[in-house]
């Protein structure tokens, strides 16, 4: 019986060492994968945009201005140039923002909200207004509660950064199409 206990004890210790080594290797693999994702997110930049650090006060003013436009949607067509300026400013902030970060999340949210309001000016729809509201809420939370720690808006995950960078690039493409739509509506 004593031999059996010694053998099973040795086997148990061997299994624990093997599981520990497996967890160590899995942890190293996960860390290197997350580092690779963060690197990809950092490389997803829009061409022709010069980055600037996010100005939280100006960002809050932009949120407030777009909130006012949402309250009175029939005035949105009168503010297309303001929305273009908001989008360009947010693009510069997104370019300079670290990946992942609340600054990136705020900049992309502001840019997408401005884009939805521009779309509302061309083709009015409650869907544009609802999406603009959602993007403004994301931006507002990222600006006001940046770095609150676990469970809060904080910087987010590397995968969030990739999503934000891709959303930013997609919004850039939408803005090009909006320019054409706006020119066609003026004729």
Residues constituting the chain: 187
Comparing 161 with 144, the larger pLDDT belongs to 144
What average pLDDT does range 84-93 have in this prediction?
A: 97
Omega before 100 cis (within 30°)? yes
Helices assigned H by DSSP within the chain: 2-43, 56-71, 80-96, 102-122, 126-144, 158-186
pLDDT value, residue 150: 41
pTM score, two decimals?
0.75
Average pLDDT in the chain = 82
Query: Does position 163 have pLDDT exceeding 90, yes or no?
Result: no
Which class for 157: exposed (0-12), middle (13-18), buried (19 or more C-beta within 10 A)? middle
């Amino acid at each position: 019986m004593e031999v059996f206990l010694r053998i099973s004890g040795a086997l148990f210790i061997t299994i624990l060492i093997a599981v520990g080594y497996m967890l160590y290797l899995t942890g190293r693999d996960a860390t290197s994968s997350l580092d690779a994702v963060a690197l990809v997110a950092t490389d997803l930049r829009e061409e022709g945009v010069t980055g600037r650090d996010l100005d939280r006060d100006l960002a809050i003013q932009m949120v407030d201005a777009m909130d006012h436009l949402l309250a009175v949607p029939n005035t949105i067509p009168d503010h297309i140039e303001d929305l273009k300026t908001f989008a360009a400013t947010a693009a510069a902030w997104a370019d300079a923002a670290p990946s992942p970060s609340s600054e990136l999340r705020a900049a992309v949210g502001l840019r997408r909200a401005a884009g939805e309001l521009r779309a509302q000016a061309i083709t009015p729809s409650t869907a544009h207004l609802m999406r603009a509201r959602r993007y403004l809420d994301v931006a507002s939370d990222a600006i006001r509660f940046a770095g609150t720690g676990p469970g809060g808006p904080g910087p987010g995950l590397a995968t969030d950064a990739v999503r934000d960078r891709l959303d930013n690039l997609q919004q850039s493409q939408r803005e090009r199409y909006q320019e054409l739509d706006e020119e066609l509506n003026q004729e």
